[in-house]
Every structure is written in C-alpha cells, then in structure tokens.
Amino acid sequence: MSDSAMTPPHAPPFGKFEPALLGPEFPAELRTVSGLWFRCGYGPGIAAYLNFFLLRDFIVLHDRAKAARFLTWQAMAKSFYETDLFIRAVTDSGREATGGISSPRVQQQLQQIMRRHAVLAIPPWMMTYFGWSLFEAVEAQCAPLDDEQRRLHLAYMSKAWRLMGISFANDRAAMAAFARDVERRHAALAPQTLAHARSILRIGELIGVSSRPQRVLPLLPAATRELFAPHAQTVRPGLLRRWSCRVLGRLFVPRAVGRPRTAVPFASAAAAAKP
C-alpha cells in the first residue's frame, strides 16, 4: 500500500508555533481536553497500542524499523510509559501542569517526536491514524460526551497534531471516514500480533486496566474489534498473573497521569493570543 493511497483529510501541518494559532477558545479547549484525559485513565492508551498491533502493515513496518522497542513486555512497558508521559504533557493531564500546547516545552516535545518517527521512516498518514485512534478511544472511554465537549476536544487535538508536523483535520466526519478506510485495508494479524497483544494486556493489568474482553473490545474500532474478539480470551493473562500484576503494579510501576485540576494556558502564550 503506497502512502498516497492513504491520504488523510487535508489539514496541513503548521510550519511553526504562533500564539494566534491557539485562538480565542483555547482556554476552554484546554480545560475540556485536560478533564477528559484525566477521566479516561489508561484504558484508551492500552486500546490504541492493541489496535496498532491489529493493523498488519503498521506493526510489520514498525518492528522492521525498531524491533527492540517491543521485543519483550518490559521493553514495551518502557515505550508505553514514555508515550504516556508525552501525551500527558500535551493534554495537561500529567503530574505537573504544563499548559498543554501553549507551553514552549511541549511544543519542543512535539517536534522531537516527529523527528524520531521521521528517522524510522514511519509514513505520516500512519501517525495521523494512530492519533485519531487514540482520540476515538478516549471519547469511547468517557462517553457520553455532549456536542460541545466533542467539538472542543477535536479542535484542540487537531492543533496539537498539526503542531507536531502531521495532518489532522478539524473535521470529525472526514477523519472518521479516513480511519475506517485504513482499518478496512489493514486490519489483519501479523505473525507477532498475538504475542504483542499478550504483552500490552499484561502491561494494562500492571497499571490497573482490566484485560477482560468486555473491557477491552468496546474501545477498539469495529474492524479490529471483530478481528481480535476470537483471540481476546486466549491472550488474556491468567488469573494468577493478573493478581500478581495488580499487586506489583501498585508497588513498582510509575504512573504518568496526575490528579485532576483545572488546566490553564501557559502565561506568555495566553497573553500573546489575546486580540
């Protein structure tokens, strides 16, 4: 499948950060996003990783470029924690307040992540899709949302991904259509899929996310949910493993999410964005 065959809805990346990009609704967008990402916990992140493993071309390309990242469940856990630290900073839902994408430090992190993926030759449309799948999982976890929450959530995340350097349209219908097309074309098992699924479900148990199929399956898109359903119980950690993961996780596993608070924009960016 060529990159051009999977073109996201048109929403070109921002060349650089300008305070005016935030717009007058940014404080409300940030409060909404921070609140949702505090509420959602770790379930959407586990689901987004699992969904990635269920898209054959995605995981084959990734593992060919950086096999060590998911070679063991411990390596995968390190990757998950680093990704979570990043997304918590972007959404201002971590242990320390950041101001989200209004923060110069977060803007720098966005650029660093993009450069890292460019080195691995991950196609930008795959990054757009991963961002959207995580976005959808958060909304599924936090449902029901009203129209205003959904609008503010998408407006913020569109800006965040475009600041990172990838296309991410503030058009829900177009983005959903793009995602469903990706899933129709790419949902399939790779040789490593079930082993990776077993690892991510184990990591989920360590951080308090149940591996019960009834908990995991609703957070997956329809195509990958149907693909994974026959295997969900088979790859689920056993009872003793689940119990030990819950105990050890509380004692030894670091958590990136913080305690809920009211998010506020980074001061200098907020002042510069005012008309």
Predicted local confidence at residue 123, as pLDDT: 86
Contacts for 148 with CB less than 8 Å, ≥ 6 apart: 32
Listed residue (217, 241, 253) closest to 77, CA to CA? 253
Instruction: Give the pLDDT confidence score for residue 274 in this predicted structure.
Output: 54
29 CB neighbour count, 10 Å cutoff: 25
CA-to-CA separations, 52 to 17, 84, 86, 93, in angstroms, rounded: 29, 15, 18, 23
Distant-in-sequence, close-in-space partners of 49: CB < 8 Å, separation ≥ 6: 76, 80, 200
pLDDT of residue 257: 87
Contacts of 243 (CB under 8 A, 6+ apart): none
pLDDT of amino acid 176: 97
CA dihedral 53, 57, 62, 68 (to 10 degrees): 60
**In this predicted model, what pLDDT tens digit does every residue of 152-183 receive, in sequence order?**
999 999 999 999 999 999 999 999 999 999 99
Alpha-carbon distance 38 to 184, whole Å?
31
pLDDT value of position 5: 53
Q: Can you give the pLDDT at residue 2? A: 44
What's the chain's Rg over C-alpha atoms? Answer: 18
pTM: 0.92
Which parts of the chain register pLDDT below 50?
1-4, 269-270, 272
Tokens representing residue 243 in the block? 């119990």
Q: In the structure encoding, which two tokens stand for residue 150, read together? A: 């959904």
- Written as six digits, the tokens of 219 are 């957070």
CB-based contacts of 84: which residues, under 8 Å, 6+ apart?
42, 45, 256, 257
State the DSSP H helix or E strand holding residue 79, giving kind and residue range, or none if neither. helix 73-90
Is it true that the peptide bond before 260 is cis, omega within 30 degrees of 0? no
Q: Please report the pLDDT score of residue 1 as a whole number.
A: 44
pLDDT at residue number 153: 98
Amino acid 175: pLDDT: 97
Residue 124: what pLDDT? 87
What's the DSSP call for residue 94? Answer: B
Burial class (CB in 10 A: 0-12, 13-18, 19+), 19: middle
Q: Which residues contact 8 (CB under 8 A, 6 or more apart)?
A: 125, 128, 129, 166, 167, 168, 169, 175, 178
